[in-house]
Amino acid sequence: MKKFSIFSSIRLKFILFFVLLILLAMEIIGVYFVRELEKELTQNFKDSILNRVNLLTYNLEEEFLKERDSEESLQFEDDVKKLLIDNKSSDIEEMRVYDKDLRVIATSDPGSQDKVGQRTTDIVVTRTFVTEEMIEKMSIDKSTNERKWLLYVPIKVDNEIEGILFIEGKIERVFEQIQVINQVLINGTIIALVFTAIVAVIIAQTITRPITDMKKQAQAMARGNYSRKVKVYGHDEIGQLAITFNNLSKKLQDEQAKTDSEKRKLSSILKFMTDGVISTDRKGRIILINEAAEQMLNVTRETVISENIIDVLELGDKYSLKDLTQEQNSVILDLSTNAVPLIVRVNFSIIQKETGIMNGLIVVLHDITEQEKIERERREFVANVSHELRTPLTTMRSYLEALTDGAWMDKDIAPQFLKVTQNETERMIRLVNDLLVLSKMDSKDYQLRKEWINFPKFLDHIIDRFEMAKEKNVHFSRDYLNEPILVEIDQDKITQVLDNIISNALKYSPSGGTITVKMVVFHDSLEVKISDQGVGIPKQNLHRIFDRFYRVDKARARHIGGTGLGLAIAKEMVEAHNGHIWATSIEGKGTTIHFTLPYDRDQGDDF
């Protein structure tokens, strides 16, 4: 914002205009008047002296015509002096008469009588004798700094110069009069300027008051306040402008209200959209971005506004702005990080003016991470099922072909081949059963048959069954109190959860190891921990062990047996009970599977 300058005020400009106009007029008049007055007064001064000079020159010429001997020379000087004194006036400082020898014959100044008879050194006197014409000039007295008018008049007798009349005029008085007149003019100018300034202030106030009101209204409108009105002082052009300004303010208020309403609607839509939206200008620079797009791109509005859309989406290697305007298909971007997977489908739409010229781009970002995940899991699921079925089927076909080729007649080999075929058949049956369970859980068309169970007693029953049927030398440790804890669960589903978890613990526990079953009761949940002393699970694989068909060590898992669906089924069933399941592990020391079940102490006590 520019700083306010006092010279930017229109009121002051009005005042300055009038004052400068009067000042300029007075200066022009004053300069012309003073110059003409000076010329006139100077000329009058010279004329008054010249009038005396004509008569004096005539009398001096008569004196020079008289013939006198040497004895009468003193009388001649006295007569000349008498003429000079008689013709002296207040405008004349001194008069002198020089003879041919440049000697002073007489002077009218009593204080300069000692110069009579002396030769002069004034070069102008000599020049007057030479030119035989009257000479005038201005001089300044160094002692008083007063201006003097000097006049040299030749005295001719029978057309020959007999002497020079020198006159020193007091022309300084003329300039003093002019100075007085100048002062009068200056005073008059000052008075005129004061009255002009007063009148200019009144006129400027009348003219600028409505303009000032309109300026304040414009500033208020810039701040969004349209309720203020400009006062109308008259019906002249400025008054009509004020009325028009008020009408404009009213219309702008209505339009601003409509714009704000539409802006709020658009802002609300953009804010609550799950899809990211970005708008650019015709050069591809971002001018708008909503919160969803900020989160997807992991940016802030301040950092991307005015940035090029190609740079923000990192498409510079594949697309130009022109390519994006012509792109008909969606662009898939992988914005995944180590912590969060994110796949985005980007669609581009052109904003056009009425003339058809492109005015910008609308970019819509749709999160398809879950779709891609489901599609990837579907492909993996199909591949895993195909692989899990192909292996036992291939084995069965090989053994059945061998039996068909005559191996059934060998009493040692035939029972072994039939045993392998039976095991592979049972493996496929387990796989199909697990798939059916998962399919039923995914379809959500099943219902839990919940009942109140004494969970410690229920847990003892499960562990007892495994201890009786175990094939390895593995010990079970029960780390929980043997007191009634009633929970409402589907007994069959939780039995399957415990069977899958304990079965995995048995498979991966070393001979002589211990499986610890621990139960912790919290205020609103019951946590069960089943720990083994196996090889453990690497940290980078820990979060995937509940995925379907996932095995950390596929070769060892296939050798041990299983379908890779046990923990996936356990997860579905625990979550169906509104519980949570997770795993912790230390490589080389074992793995612990945790799961929780809802527990209401008050309802259990009432039951």
- Domain annotation covers residue 173: yes
The residue from 160, 177, 194 where one domain ends is 177
Same domain, 362 and 417: no
CA atoms within 13 A on the CB side of 222: 6
Mean pLDDT estimate for the chain? 80
The residue from 128, 153, 177 where one domain ends is 177
Secondary structure (3-state) at 587: coil
Structural domain span for residue 425:
373-441
Domain count within the chain? 4
For residue 73, give the nearest of 62, 83, 85, 64 by alpha carbon. 64
Is 406 in contact with 413 (CB distance < 8 Å)?
Answer: no
Same domain, 576 and 456: yes
Strand 160-169 to 147-157 pairing:
antiparallel
Secondary structure (3-state) at 282: coil
What pLDDT is attached to residue 381? Answer: 66
Same domain, 164 and 305: no
Is 343 in contact with 334 (CB distance < 8 Å)?
Answer: yes
d(CA 326, CA 369) in angstroms, rounded, equals 26
Here the tokens at position 566 are 């046990």
Q: Residue 64 is part of a domain; what is its CATH number?
A: 3.30.450.20
What pLDDT is attached to residue 288? Answer: 87
Same domain, 519 and 541: yes
Question: 76: part of which helix (H) or strand (E)?
Answer: helix 73-86
pTM of the model: 0.41
The residue from 177, 209, 242 where one domain ends is 177
- With DSSP H G I counted as helix, E B as strand and the rest as coil, what are the percentages for the chain, rounded to 5? 55, 20, 25
What pLDDT is attached to residue 391? Answer: 66
Of 49-53, 142-146, 430-434, give the lowest mean pLDDT range: 430-434
Q: Residue 557 is part of a domain; what is its CATH number?
A: 3.30.565.10
- List pLDDT tens digits, range 106-164: 888 888 888 888 888 888 888 888 888 888 888 887 777 888 888 898 988 888 888 88
d(CA 230, CA 239) in angstroms, rounded, equals 10
- Domain annotation covers residue 125: yes
Same domain, 424 and 396: yes
For residue 181, give the nearest of 25, 46, 43, 36 by alpha carbon. 36
What's the rounded mean pLDDT across residues 89-115? 84
What pLDDT is attached to residue 377? Answer: 67
Cα angle at 103 between 101 and 105, to 5 degrees? Answer: 120
What pLDDT is attached to residue 3? Answer: 47
CA 268 to the chain's CA centroid? 24
Q: What are the residues whose beta carbons fall under 8 Å from the beta carbon of 239, sequence distance 6 or more?
A: 210, 232, 233
Band (pLDDT 50/70/90 cuts) for residue 68 is: low
Of 84-88, 226-230, 333-337, give the lowest mean pLDDT range: 226-230
Same domain, 89 and 173: yes
Q: Is the pLDDT of residue 482 over 70?
A: yes
Q: Show the beta-strand stretches assigned E in 141-180.
A: 147-157, 160-169
- Domain annotation covers residue 206: no
* 487 burial type by CB count under 10 A (0-12 exposed, 13-18 middle, 19+ buried): buried
Q: Is the pLDDT of residue 345 over 80?
A: yes
Same domain, 358 and 503: no
Band (pLDDT 50/70/90 cuts) for residue 434 is: low
- Domain annotation covers residue 59: yes
Q: Residue 413 is part of a domain; what is its CATH number?
A: 1.10.287.130
d(CA 459, CA 65) in angstroms, rounded, equals 170
- Domain annotation covers residue 242: no
- Domain annotation covers residue 245: no
Here the tokens at position 262 are 């539409």
Same domain, 312 and 402: no
Is 569 in contact with 500 (CB distance < 8 Å)?
Answer: yes
Q: Give the position of tokens 């609607």.
A: 265
